[in-house]
C-alpha cells in the first residue's frame, strides 16, 4: 500500500482582503500564506470542524463548539475544576442544564470523572484536557453527563491534518511564568512516538530567546533552534528529523543560571506517561549544568517519573508528521 507523509504544503494567494514554572526541584493578490491545519475533525456532537495546529486548547474547543451551535453562539465557562466552551443559551454550571447540551472541556484541573462537577458520573477522564461531554439528565446525579469524545482534536479523529504536537494537546497543570532559576539547567521531557514519522518543528513557551534542542535515545543531538517567545507557544521549522516508533527522544531548553523568563507547570505525577494520539510523554527530564549555561545534556540527566515528576520545568514541545496508509484523503495546510 502506498505511503505518504501526512501533510501537503498548499500555498493560497491572498486576494486584497483576507479569504480565511517553586524552586526547580529546587526546580488584490498580495502574497502567499502558509498555515498548518487539521480538517474534518469529529466535534463529539455529530459534526466535524477544522483547527490550526498551533491553536491552544481553548481555541480548539471554541471552534468545535461553534461547529455545532454556530459562530458567536458559544461562550467560555467553568464549573469547579473544568473549563470549557458551551452554548451560551444552554447555561453553565447548574443542575437543570438541559439534556443533550454539549460542553467542550479544554482544561481539567484535577477531576477524574466526566460528571464529577455535577454529582458523579465516573467515566474516567483522569488527565484528559480536551474532551467532549453531553448532558444526560436534567439533575445533578451519577448519570449527569455522558462522555462523547475522549480526545478532541486528535489526528485519529480527523480526515486530514498537518503535524501533531506532543505536549500541547494534553497540556495540564498550573502555569507559572517569569521564573529565574538559581542554577543552570537543561529542561524538558522524554517522549516516544507510537508511529514512524518526522519531527519538523521545535517549540518553546517562555519569556526569552532560548535554544531548544532535540536528542535521540543515545543523547546525540539531532536538531536545535533558537526560539523567541513572549509567554506564548512559538514553533520554529527545522530540517525534518526521522523518528522511529517505540524509540525514546528528548526535547529540552537550555536555561542559564539566573536567566529570567522561564515557564513551568506543576503536575500530578500520577498523570505522567501520558499518551495523546500517537505520541507518549514518558517523563520530565532535567540536568544540572556544571558550567551554569544549561548546554549539557547526556545520560546523567535526571528524570521525573510517576513518583517524582511533579513539575514540567521548561515548557518545550515538538511538532511531527506521521506516515500513514493512503486512504485517499487529501492533507492540506491552509488558512
Radius of gyration of the chain (CA): 21
**pLDDT at 257 exceeding the cut of 50:** yes
More confident call, 55 vs 276: 55
Q: Where are the domains of the chain?
A: 38-149, 164-324
**pLDDT at 161 exceeding the cut of 80:** no
pLDDT confidence tier of residue 163, bands split at 50, 70 and 90: low
**pLDDT at 217 exceeding the cut of 90:** yes
Say what percent of the chain tops pLDDT 90: 41
The pLDDT value given to residue 312: 74
More confident call, 312 vs 243: 243
- Cβ neighbours of 50 (radius 10 Å): 20
**In whole numbers, what is the pLDDT of the chain averaged over residues?**
78
Give the separation between CA 3 and CA 197, rounded to whole angstroms.
11
CA angle, 163 as apex, 157 and 168 as ends, to 5°?
80
pLDDT tens-digit profile of 298-321?
A: 988 888 755 555 677 788 999 887
**pLDDT at 5 exceeding the cut of 70:** no
Q: Which CATH class is domain 164-324?
A: mainly beta
Average pLDDT over residues 9-27: 30
More confident call, 250 vs 123: 250
Residue 189 CB contacts under 8 Å (≥ 6 apart), including other chains: 166, 167, 250, 251, 281, 282, 283, 284, 285, 312, 316
pLDDT confidence tier of residue 165, bands split at 50, 70 and 90: low
Amino acid at each position: 500500500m502506498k505511503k505518504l507523509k501526512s501533510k501537503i504544503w498548499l500555498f493560497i494567494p491572498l486576494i486584497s482582503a483576507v479569504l480565511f514554572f517553586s524552586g526547580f526541584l529546587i526546580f488584490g493578490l498580495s502574497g502567499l500564506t502558509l498555515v498548518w491545519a487539521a480538517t474534518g475533525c469529529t466535534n463529539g456532537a455529530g459534526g466535524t470542524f477544522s483547527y490550526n495546529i498551533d491553536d491552544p486548547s481553548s481555541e480548539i474547543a471554541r471552534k468545535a463548539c461553534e461547529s455545532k451551535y454556530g459562530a458567536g453562539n458559544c461562550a467560555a465557562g467553568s464549573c469547579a475544576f473544568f473549563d470549557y466552551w458551551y452554548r451560551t443559551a444552554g447555561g453553565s454550571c447548574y443542575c437543570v442544564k438541559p439534556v443533550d447540551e454539549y460542553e467542550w472541556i479544554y482544561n481539567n484541573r484535577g477531576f477524574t470523572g466526566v460528571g464529577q462537577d455535577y454529582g458523579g458520573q465516573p467515566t474516567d477522564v483522569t488527565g484528559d484536557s480536551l474532551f467532549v461531554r453531553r448532558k444526560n439528565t436534567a439533575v445533578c446525579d451519577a448519570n449527569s453527563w455522558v462522555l462523547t469524545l475522549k480526545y478532541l482534536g486528535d489526528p485519529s479523529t480527523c480526515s486530514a491534518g498537518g503535524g501533531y504536537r506532543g505536549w500541547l494537546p494534553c497540556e495540564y497543570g498550573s502555569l507559572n511564568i517569569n521564573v529565574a532559576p538559581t542554577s543552570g539547567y537543561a529542561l524538558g521531557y522524554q517522549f516516544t512516538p507510537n508511529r514512524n514519522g518526522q519531527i519538523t518543528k521545535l517549540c518553546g513557551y517562555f519569556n526569552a530567546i532560548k535554544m531548544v534542542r532535540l536528542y535521540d535515545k543515545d543523547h546525540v543531538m539531532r536538531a536545535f533552534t533558537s526560539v523567541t517567545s513572549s509567554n506564548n507557544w512559538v514553533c520554529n521549522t527545522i530540517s525534518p528529523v526521522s523518528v522511529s516508533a517505540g524509540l525514546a527522544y528528548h526535547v529540552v531548553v537550555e536555561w542559564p543560571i539566573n536567566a529570567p523568563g522561564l515557564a513551568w507547570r506543576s503536575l500530578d505525577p500520577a498523570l505522567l506517561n501520558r499518551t495523546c494520539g500517537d505520541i507518549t510523554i514518558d517523563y520530565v527530564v532535567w540536568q544540572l549544568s556544571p558550567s551554569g549555561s544549561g548546554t549539557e545534556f547526556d545520560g546523567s540527566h535526571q528524570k521525573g517519573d510517576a513518583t517524582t515528576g511533579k513539575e514540567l520545568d521548561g515548557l518545550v514541545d515538538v511538532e511531527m508528521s506521521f506516515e500513514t496508509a493512503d486512504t485517499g484523503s487529501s492533507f492540506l495546510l491552509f488558512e
